[in-house]
Amino acid sequence: MAGKSTYLRQNAVIAILAQMGSFVPARRAKIGTVDRLFSRVGAADDIARGRSTFMVEMVETAAILNQATARSLVILDEIGRGTATFDGLSIAWATIEHLHETNRCRALFATHFQELTALAARLGRLFNATMRVKEWRGEVVFLHEVVAGAADRSYGIQVAKLAGLPPPVIARARTVLARLEAEDRTAPRALDELPLFAAAPKPPAAAAPDDPPSRLAAAMAELHPDEMSPREALEALYALKAIAAAKE
């Protein structure tokens, strides 16, 4: 509600306007050449392909991390929100590190994971920004202004109240939040102890060039899933299962 997703989209549009030679809403702008614009904003599943919202998010994020160059512009909104908290936080953490160290591109990354703000002290080209918010007479007022720094808290319950959730639900949410925050203070998450860019485990050694491929590997190599009908895919699956059973 503070406007961060709009801010991400706005910057992407400004880059396009500048590159096509149009005016941009600024007194002065130095943007540079952008070879490609990558966007992972919004949330929707893909029923036709049997993909959940989180799977769609991961597929799109994978495309960005595998294709973005140092000249690209990337906007990412709430990576990791579609799964368990620690899984999502871990994925978002690793994604930021990869963008910073491997892709080395310009990126805007919006998140509600407060823990990620600590990365600004560890990554030289990472900076935190937040949307200004004012509390007035127990209400929250979004000022729609971007300032340097990190948010000191979230306003999810206030937004829920604005949306019209029943007062008993809001009151109960405040009670639960206070208890969770108290527990978090007594046992804080030790994310600062995580090694930065920890070495990934080495992949298993590849088979020697003169080793012949197994029947199962050879059969799988001949498959073309994108060109198969559902019936053909099912038949291929049974054939692979038979090969695997014969091998045992």
Alpha-carbon torsion, ordered 91, 96, 102, 105, to 10 deg? 140
Share of the chain above pLDDT 90, in %: 44
| Tens-place pLDDT, residues 153-195 | 788 888 888 889 999 999 999 899 888 878 766 655 555 566 6
Q: d(Cα 76, Cα 65) in Å, to the nearest integer?
A: 11
Give yes or no for residue 245 having a pLDDT over 80.
no
Beta strand pairing status for 73-77 and 106-110? parallel
Which numeric CATH code is attached to 4-154?
Answer: 3.40.50.300
pLDDT at 139: 78
What is the residue extent of each domain of the chain?
4-154
pLDDT digits (tens, 9 = 90+) for 224-241: 777 777 777 778 887 888
Q: What would the 3-class secondary structure string for 34-68 be?
A: CCCEEEECCCCCECCCCECHHHHHHHHHHHHHHHC
pTM above 0.75, yes or no: no
Phi, psi of 65 (to 5 degrees): -65, -30
If you average pLDDT over residues 61-80, what whole number do you get? 95
